[in-house]
């Protein structure tokens, strides 16, 4: 029984990765698949490639890497990859040598200072640069373990079983079929019988046919072209082992077993479902082995319902059976928000370098973890069934926008979403007014938040806002909170409440006779404690007061007409400097020559 698992990986100077980032992988015994999440172009595929190179699933040679793989295309930024692996010890086909992938697989790229001169991966039992013991049994050991990599972006390529012109098999399905054939002793015993019966059948069919005469004519001319050297041409089927790689999977729709359609004639979604079945079959045939499954965005071409089905019925089932599953995803339907210890979240820092913003498995990898927040002390999770009501109302509808955004603006209600989207558009338009490099300034302003991966999320109340800020901190997501203060400034000032270290012991709290006022004050204080001062803004007394909507009717159309009017002024009380800094308006404040222009007026 073979088994293999990854314990962790460390990446440095490889593509978008600059500073060393270490990711420990949770042990397969935990029973959950490992998801790698993050917004577009954050480095998820780079991480997956690092795993494939560390395993030598992607073979490393002097030509495997170019200057484009060096961070910022700088020859001095030599990529470093260290992959921790644990495996069983298996005997190779010769019956004498052993295959063992346990150790630290280290990528070594050699340069002469100007260009790349070589590259290799070596495995060591110790993760150090001194007194290292090389694991020679790791060389050529990959084929003795069940490792399956599927890129769902190229789903049709994954069902191609034929060999390439170089004699290689690229798809996971072709490799697995080839492995089954080579290991099936009963099938190999039938080889000679198959060849003999096939030869007789072929000769019988071709006897007296035009194609046989055509082949004989080719043979005659070929002998002549070779200066009458003896040769024999035979037109037949491929070699025994290759015949099965030339065969096609065919599907009979609605149970029709007569009119079969090749699987590659179907759409990508249908093929994805077929691949699901293949993966499940592989797992069923590998009951005694513990496999490693690596998937790139398996939700591709699947509707949300089938994404959730794939996650629960395939990915989770594989993990529950002891296989290790590592996959990248853009979908909140492909993760379990109530169980985040198997989630790895990637982000970009201010220098556009990939960092690990969240990684909290229970096991330890020898490299320091880059996670930024601690799980809940009692449950180990930030989202629990205790807060299920809040989860359904505010988190579940917004989970995708929270997890896959670079920054999140949390606002109180629908009108806040309406107002802040519009005033941000106006502020961006104002900032790029003198920038001639932007052709369609209005379009740029309307899509600014989308381009910068900034989402506006409605939390519907301060209690939920606190919950969402803790969720953002848990995953290392940058956030900004906007709420109504619910009091007049001369009644209860924000500055006064900020200074209180113990609200309930304060004279301000004890002097409140109305329980509703005490509750609102408590919510404000709790929110101030949860969010950092630079990441929160209160509209006094409420949003409608600040924008000049002097009516108890919160009609969105009236508010929209108000903020779209020429007389509407965006005040500092509505759009503070710290919100401007949060969304990065200062970075837009340049003209077409690259020179800074005057500061934006926030009042």
**530 and 564 part of one domain:** yes
| Closest to 448 in 3D by CA, of 428, 430, 478 | 428
379 domain residue, yes or no: no
Cα–Cα dist 246/394, whole Å: 52
- The full DSSP string for 30-82 is G---EEEE-STTSSHHHHHHHHHHHHTSSPP-TTS--GGGBGGG-TTS--EEE
**545 and 421 part of one domain:** yes
**Ranges of residues in the chain whose predicted pLDDT is under 70:** 128-131, 164-167, 362-380, 589-603
**148 and 287 part of one domain:** yes
**133 and 219 part of one domain:** no
**443 and 475 part of one domain:** yes
Q: How far lies 400's CA from each of 36, 97, 152, 482, 548, in Å?
A: 14, 49, 20, 20, 34
Phi, psi of 199 (to 5 degrees): -65, -45
Render pLDDT for 210-235 as a digit per residue (tens, 0 to 9).
999 999 999 889 888 887 777 888 88
| Closest to 524 in 3D by CA, of 542, 549, 491, 498 | 498
pTM for this prediction = 0.86
Task: Give 43: exposed, middle or buried? Use CB within 10 Å, 0-12, 13-18, 19+.
Answer: buried
How many domains in the chain? 3
**418 and 326 part of one domain:** no
366 domain residue, yes or no: no
Packed helices 210-225 and 191-206: angle between N→C axes, nearest 10 degrees: 100
Cα–Cα dist 489/335, whole Å: 43
Q: Please tell me whether residue 516 adopts helix, strand or coil conformation.
A: helix
Neighbours of 116 (CB within 10 A): 19
38 domain residue, yes or no: yes
559 domain residue, yes or no: yes
**428 and 465 part of one domain:** yes
Domain of 72 in residue numbering reads as 4-161+262-359
**344 and 421 part of one domain:** no
Helix, strand, coil in percent for the chain, rounding step 5: 40, 20, 40
CATH number at residue 301: 3.40.50.300
Packed helices 515-530 and 462-475: angle between N→C axes, nearest 10 degrees: 10
Last residue of a domain, which of 213, 246, 279? 246
Q: Judging by DSSP bridges, how do beta strands 103-111 and 116-124 pair with one another?
A: antiparallel
**49 and 104 part of one domain:** yes
Q: Where are the alpha helices (DSSP H) in 292-440?
A: 304-310, 316-320, 388-390, 399-403, 414-431
Q: How far lies 51's CA from each of 2, 6, 31, 501, in Å?
A: 20, 9, 21, 48
Last residue of a domain, which of 219, 246, 273? 246
**195 and 335 part of one domain:** no
175 domain residue, yes or no: no
Quick one: pLDDT at residue 283? 86
**15 and 147 part of one domain:** yes
Q: Cβ(125)–Cβ(102) under 8 Å? A: yes
| Closest to 346 in 3D by CA, of 14, 22, 39, 69 | 39
The DSSP output letter for 25 is P
Q: Please tell me whether residue 131 adopts helix, strand or coil conformation.
A: coil
For residue 446, give the H/E element and its range. helix 441-446
Last residue of a domain, which of 246, 270, 287? 246
10 domain residue, yes or no: yes
533 domain residue, yes or no: yes
| Backbone conformation region of residue 352, classed left if phi is above 0, alpha if psi is from -120 to 50, else beta | left
Cα–Cα dist 422/416, whole Å: 10
Task: Give 2: exposed, middle or buried? Use CB within 10 Å, 0-12, 13-18, 19+.
Answer: middle
Q: Please tell me whether residue 9 adopts helix, strand or coil conformation.
A: strand
| Closest to 19 in 3D by CA, of 100, 103, 80 | 80
- The full DSSP string for 544-600 is HHHHT--SS---HHHHHHHHHSTT----TTTS-HHHHHHHTGGGG-B-TTS-B-PPP
Phi, psi of 427 (to 5 degrees): -65, -40
Neighbours of 410 (CB within 10 A): 29
Write down the residue that tokens 């926008």 correspond to.
401
257 domain residue, yes or no: no
Sequence length of the chain is: 603
At CB < 8 A and 24+ separation, what contacts does 172-179 make?
A: 172/148, 173/278, 174/245, 176/148, 176/282, 177/244, 177/245, 178/241, 178/245, 179/143
**274 and 320 part of one domain:** yes
């Amino acid at each position: 029984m073979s088994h293999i698992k990854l314990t962790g990986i460390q990446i440095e100077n490889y593509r978008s990765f600059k500073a060393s980032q270490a990711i420990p992988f949770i042990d397969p015994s935990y029973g959950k698949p490992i998801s790698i999440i993050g917004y577009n172009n954050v480095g998820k595929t780079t991480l997956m490639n690092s795993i494939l190179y560390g395993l030598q699933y992607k073979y490393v040679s002097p030509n495997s890497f170019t200057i484009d793989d060096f961070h910022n295309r700088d020859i001095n930024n030599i990529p470093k990859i260290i992959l921790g692996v644990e495996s069983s010890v298996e005997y190779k086909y010769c019956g004498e040598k052993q295959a063992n992938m346990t150790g630290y697989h280290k990528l070594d790229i050699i340069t002469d200072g100007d260009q790349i001169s070589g590259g290799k991966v070596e495995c060591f039992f110790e993760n150090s640069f001194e007194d290292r013991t090389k694991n020679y049994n790791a060389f050529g050991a990959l084929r003795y373990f069940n490792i399956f990599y599927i890129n769902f972006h190229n789903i049709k390529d994954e069902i191609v079983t034929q060999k390439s012109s170089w004699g290689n098999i690229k798809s996971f399905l072709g490799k697995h079929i080839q492995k089954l054939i080579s290991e099936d002793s009963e099938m190999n015993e039938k080889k000679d019988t198959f060849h003999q019966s096939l030869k007789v059948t072929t000769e019988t069919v071709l006897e007296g046919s035009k194609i046989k005469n055509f082949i004989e004519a080719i043979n005659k001319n070929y002998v002549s072209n070779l200066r009458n050297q003896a040769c024999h041409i035979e037109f037949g089927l491929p070699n025994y082992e290759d015949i099965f790689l030339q065969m096609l999977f065919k599907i009979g729709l609605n149970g029709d077993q007569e009119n079969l359609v090749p699987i590659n004639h179907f759409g990508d979604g249908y093929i994805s479902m077929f691949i699901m079945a293949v993966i499940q079959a592989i797992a069923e045939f590998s009951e005694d082995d513990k496999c490693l499954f690596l998937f790139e965005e398996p939700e591709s071409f699947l509707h949300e319902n089938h994404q959730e089905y794939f996650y629960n019925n395939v990915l989770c089932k594989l993990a529950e059976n002891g296989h290790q599953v590592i996959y990248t995803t853009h979908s909140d339907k492909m993760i379990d928000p109530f169980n985040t210890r198997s989630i790895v979240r990637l982000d970009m820092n201010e220098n556009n370098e990939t960092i690990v913003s969240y990684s909290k498995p229970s096991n330890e990898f020898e490299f320091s973890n880059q996670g930024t927040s601690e799980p809940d002390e009692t449950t180990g999770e930030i989202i629990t069934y205790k807060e299920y009501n809040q989860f359904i109302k505010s988190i579940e509808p917004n989970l995708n926008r929270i997890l896959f955004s670079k920054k999140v603006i949390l606002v109180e209600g629908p009108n806040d979403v309406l107002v802040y989207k519009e005033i941000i558009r106006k502020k961006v338009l104002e900032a790029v007014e003198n920038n001639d490099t932007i052709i369609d300034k209005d379009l740029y302003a309307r899509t600014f938040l989308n381009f910068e991966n900034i989402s506006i999320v409605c939390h519907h109340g301060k209690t939920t806002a606190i919950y969402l800020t803790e969720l953002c901190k848990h995953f290392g997501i940058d956030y900004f909170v906007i709420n109504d203060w619910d009091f007049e400034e001369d009644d209860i000032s924000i500055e006064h409440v900020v200074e209180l270290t113990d609200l309930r012991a304060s004279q301000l709290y004890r002097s409140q006779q109305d329980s509703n006022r005490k509750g609102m004050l408590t919510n404000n204080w709790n929110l101030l404690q949860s969010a950092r001062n630079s990441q929160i803004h209160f509209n006094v007394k409420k949003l409608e007061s600040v924008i000049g909507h002097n009516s108890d009717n919160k009609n969105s159309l009236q508010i929209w007409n108000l903020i779209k009017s020429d007389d509407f002024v965006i005040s500092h009380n509505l759009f503070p400097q710290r919100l401007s800094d949060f969304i990065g308006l200062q970075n837009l404040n340049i003209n077409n020559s690259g020179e800074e222009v005057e500061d934006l007026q926030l009042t």
